Structure 1
């Protein structure tokens, strides 16, 4: 078997499999291990975690989809989806796949935070570009007024955005940027504590998680900002221009 429980896989596109294996009279793709049915088509393109691997016929169940067995040849290896960034190309998941995984609330919307409203169904299956993103939200170009969850989309083409805090849209608003707002309303000690807290957070993540390089860069950014205000309470940080040089090591920041 190519995969085991806990592996991440991408479910291949319907057209790709249809071209390779053909379609039977019942409309199902004739993959050797077992047929890929019309109902499974809704999950094509998604990245999922393998929950059960059956070595008797090389089929797999996916986390959140416990009523279908996917044939091995319908899957390709994938990596766990990283935190989304501005410029990423994503596929908005199908309504049925989200409904099966998350259920619906009393209003009939997909029960996530934020919810996936029925009025957002027109975006299902669309390839869209991330305009801004955080741990719990995604904004998409062409979907003004709607806030998506990372659970609603699948990353299909990463951007060249570095992931640095200085590159993120929520640090680059046109009037006053959120970081500048914090500096305005926090006391100098509170603001320094905020910067140091984020430095520690990303340093620890770099030590224990899979995005070490990206998290190291974020830690470096926050430490650089801290070094600018540590002994100068009147210094005003500009996230767009206050970016550390490659040779910045943070030496002396805690002196």
Structure 2
């Protein structure tokens, strides 16, 4: 089955600048980055934005270059076929290369690169948010600062933790299979049935875990009262306010420059 690898799209405790910011501040930054990524429509501007996010990930979020590549490689490989299709079908005036009726234009390359890099940038920015934000703090931010009903906030918390739970269940099943000397078969049909059994086992374990969580909530009287108390009160720090203000100012200036030019 191979050695188990850590998930990249989940929270990891750390001491970086991003780890010290509250979820609302980082979400404001994420919205600004998303606006810029959707606004810029050239390959060069998208490349510059991606480079800036990568530098922020390295210096402010404490991610290594390898971790960022792990986060970007899936959207990159998904975006590569789309990039090639755009080259084939997008029109343009500046012909760079021609084979028969096929024209490779500079405009098609630029637009295809912009779309692909935009996708990678959005995923990387989301990775910075996810890896530096404790899901429990997201719940506190929703309930305490945004006044979202705590039952709805807790449901969001469960959704954020569901993927790591599935991974843990899959790792348990893999360990049990290795202890029994079971390995993945070689034929395609046998592989299909092996994966079907594996997925069904994970699904059964996940349903069982959800039932355990529901029973625990019922036993503790969760949702019996309209309000609840909190052990930890989330605070918006001064550095977070300064950071989101600077991010918003840069986003506004970039939008103004884009509109004027």
Structure 1-normalised TM-score?
0.24
Bigger relative contact order, structure 1 or 2 (CA pairs below 8 A, ≥6 apart): 2
Which is helix-richer, 1 or 2? 2
Which is strand-richer, 1 or 2? 1
